Structure 1
Amino acid sequence: MSDHAVLTAETHRTLRVHGTRGAAFGDAVMCCVTVPDEFRRVQNEYAILFRLNHEHDSFAAMALFGFENGENLYLEGDRWDARYRPLAMEIQPLLIGRPAPDSPERHVHIDMASPRIAGEDGIALFDDLGQPTPYLQRATEQLGALDAGYRGSADFFAALRRHDLLEPLIVELPLDDGSTNRLVGFHTINEERLEGLDPSALAELHAEGHLMPVFMAVASLSNLDALIRRKNRRLRHG
């Protein structure tokens, strides 16, 4: 269970966090949220899929790490085997919080229940004078980028729905041991509909800044083959 608190030098002067990667620190996850502003960097390493929240009828973009809950095929012990980690993984245990659900104010919060909360061997968030350390300064910048990207993604998904570009994805993934993983519960870009858009629709997407993220999401699907290879290596070597 989470335990969120506003991060302040007065309360958290001596607090440290683990910078090490690993399952023990919450990295063993199948996917994480990403945002269109980040797609260019994410698509170099990960497949970008979309998940529908049926309760709110809203979509979120996800960077895929594995094929089942708790599986991160990029995680090898205490090493994350990729050139880039999505912002949502980088900023933990920090997050953006608001004093009230409808408040425009945003503050840096910390999850005190996170396994990344460390003892004396962790990375300091504040120096001896109570000033943010370079680590916290960088994390705060990443938080701001992620928050701005997340708030801006509503227009991106509205455009995808307006042009009917999202479709459910069901993929059968045969593995070397004879088993089959079935990837369900996600959506992806319908490439046929994308290719069939008229010039005015493409110009509209480009003018709104949505066309490049769409192409990045489509290109990212080539990473599924590499993810299957990672899965097969994991099955062979444990």
Structure 2
Amino acid sequence: MSQHAVLDPATHRDLRVRMEPGADLGDQVMSCIAVPNEFRQVQADFPILFHKNQETGAFNAVALFGFENGENLFLENGKWNAGYRPLALSIQPFLIGRSRDEDGVAQVHIDMEHVRIDDAEGVRVFDESGQATPYLEDVAEKLGRLDAGYRASEGFFAALKRWDLLEPFTLEVTLNDGAKRSLVGFHILNEDRIRGLDGAALGELHAAGYLMPIFMALASLSHITDLVARKNAREAHA
């Protein structure tokens, strides 16, 4: 159960957080949220898929780590086996908080019940004088990027919807041992529709800064083959 609190040096002077990857530290997940302003980094390692909320119809993007719930093929023996760690994972247990006024000043919040909080083994958040440590400064920068990405996502997904650029995606994988794994409930970008956009549409997407994340998401799909190879290797050593 979460227990969010505004981070401040008086209350949290001695707070420590474990930074290393770990299955028991919240990293044993099939996917995590990715925002368009990090697609360039995400696509270097992970497939970028899109998930639709069936109640609201809203979309979000995810970096895919595995083929089933609780599977992360990039987490091996306590090591993160990829060049990039998506923002939504790397900022845990911190988050951005605001007042009821969405345009209010952003604050750094922390989930005091998160498993990464460990006063014995963790890295300090504040130094002895109550100043932010380099670790906290790095987290704050990442929180800012993630918050900016969330805010920009609404326009990005509205553009994808306007030009009907998303399509349902189902994948069935046959592993080397004959076992089958299915990936359902996701969407991907329709490359043919993107190719068919006229100059006006492409110009609008470019002016809004959306063409780059679109191309990055398309390029990321080549990593599905890599993910299958990781799955086969994992099963072979199971």
TM-score greater than 0.5 by the shorter chain: yes
Aligned to 1:165: 165
Instruction: After TM superposition, list the pairs within 5 Å mapping 1:146-185 onto structure 2.
Output: 146-185=146-185
Q: Distance in 2 between matches of 1:103 and 1:144?
A: 14
Instruction: After TM superposition, list the pairs within 5 Å mapping 1:180-219 onto structure 2.
Output: 180-219=180-219
- How far the C-alpha of 1:103 sits from its partner, in A, is 5.8
Q: Which runs of 5+ in 1 are unaligned?
A: none
1:53-92 CA deviation, whole Å, 9 max, x = no partner?
1222211110000011110000002100001111111110
**Aligned residue type for 2:111:** D
- How far the C-alpha of 1:226 sits from its partner, in A, is 0.4
Aligned to 1:124: 124
**Aligned residue type for 1:108:** V
Q: Distance in 2 between matches of 1:100 and 1:42?
A: 31
**Aligned residue type for 1:22:** G
Aligned to 1:137: 137
- How far the C-alpha of 1:4 sits from its partner, in A, is 1.0
Q: Percent identity?
A: 57
Q: Distance in 1 between matches of 2:101 and 2:178?
A: 48
- How far the C-alpha of 1:40 sits from its partner, in A, is 0.5
**Aligned residue type for 2:163:** H
Local SS of the residue matching 2:10: helix
Size of the aligned set, in residue pairs, is 238
Q: Retained in 1: the 8 A contact 2:14–2:119?
A: no
Aligned to 2:224: 224
- 1:17 aligns to 2:6 (yes or no): no
Structure 1 vs Structure 2 CA RMSD: 1.1
- 1:45 aligns to 2:45 (yes or no): yes
- How far the C-alpha of 1:179 sits from its partner, in A, is 1.2
Q: Distance in 2 between matches of 1:103 and 1:207?
A: 25
Runs of 4+ aligned structure 1 residues displaced above 3 Å come to: none
**Aligned residue type for 2:79:** R
TM-score of the pair, normalised by structure 2: 0.97
1:175-205 CA deviation, whole Å, 9 max, x = no partner?
1111111101111101111111111111111
Q: Distance in 2 between matches of 1:102 and 1:75?
A: 35
TM-score of the pair, normalised by structure 1: 0.97
- 1:70 aligns to 2:96 (yes or no): no
Q: Distance in 2 between matches of 1:58 and 1:196?
A: 24
Q: Distance in 2 between matches of 1:3 and 1:176?
A: 44
Local SS of the residue matching 2:11: helix
- How far the C-alpha of 1:120 sits from its partner, in A, is 2.4
- 1:34 aligns to 2:34 (yes or no): yes
